[in-house]
Structure 1
Amino acid sequence: MKITVTEDAMNWFQTEMEAISGESIQFYARYGGSSKLHEGFTLGLTKSEPDEVGVSLEQQGIRFFIEEQDLWYFDNHDLIVNLNEDRHEIEFDYIKRS
């Protein structure tokens, strides 16, 4: 699987989360809500240092990652992180891997 962070989303992370080069942002499965992939689970994000990286992407010196223990959530999908311009918040899309 792979992670893609769009340019608009990258700007959001730098502005809203004040993410800077050398920091890490984790995407993780959390209980509650609903997503396109799983009823009862949603994807969360936080600034955090990795423990057991399952997949990662470094962009403009910022590491985006998912821990090995959370890979089940993606069910053979790639993660696309984008900015919803109307709500000015991060949104997640998933593309099934062939």
Structure 2
Amino acid sequence: MQLTVTDKAKKWFQSEVDLPENYGIRFFGKVYGKTDVHEGFSIGMSVESPERPIKKETIDGLLFFIDEADDWFFKGYDLIVDYDPQLDEPTYHFQETTDI
């Protein structure tokens, strides 16, 4: 599993999300909605302190992570976090993982 945050998305998070020290942005599966690969589930995000991360990426001092509890949602996929300027919000895309 890879976690990629584009430069445009990173800039949105920098301007819109205030992170206390030792906190990061957690991505997780939530009921209702739809993703590229999940019917009835969408992606949520929250500001949290990582306790059991299975994937962490620090980009320009911003921590992004996926917790062990959400392995079921992301297993077998890479997550790409991008930005939609028309909606002024992040967008999320899944690709089948290339990890072996």
TM-score for both structures, normalised by structure 2: 0.89
Would the aligned equivalents of 2:35 and 2:93 in 1 still touch at CA under 8 Å?
Answer: no
Contact 1:20 1:61 (8 Å CA) reproduced: no
1:79 to 2:79 alignment: yes
- The residue identity in structure 2 corresponding to 1:3 is L
RMSD: 1.6
Number of aligned positions between the proteins: 98
Q: Tell me the distance in 1 between the aligned counterparts of 2:60 and 2:69.
A: 26
C-alpha separation in 1, matches of 2:20 and 2:66: 18
Which residue does the alignment assign to 1:2?
2
Q: Which residue type is aligned with residue 58 of structure 1?
A: T
Question: Residue 18 of structure 1: CA displacement?
Answer: 3.1
Of all paired residues, the percent bearing the same amino acid is 32
Name the counterpart of 1:48: 48
The question of whether the paired residues in 2 share the 8 Å contact of 1:79 and 1:93 is answered with: yes
SS state of the match for residue 72, structure 2?
Answer: helix
Normalised to the residue count of structure 1, the TM-score between the two structures is 0.90
- Mark the runs of 5 or more structure 1 residues left unpaired by the alignment: none
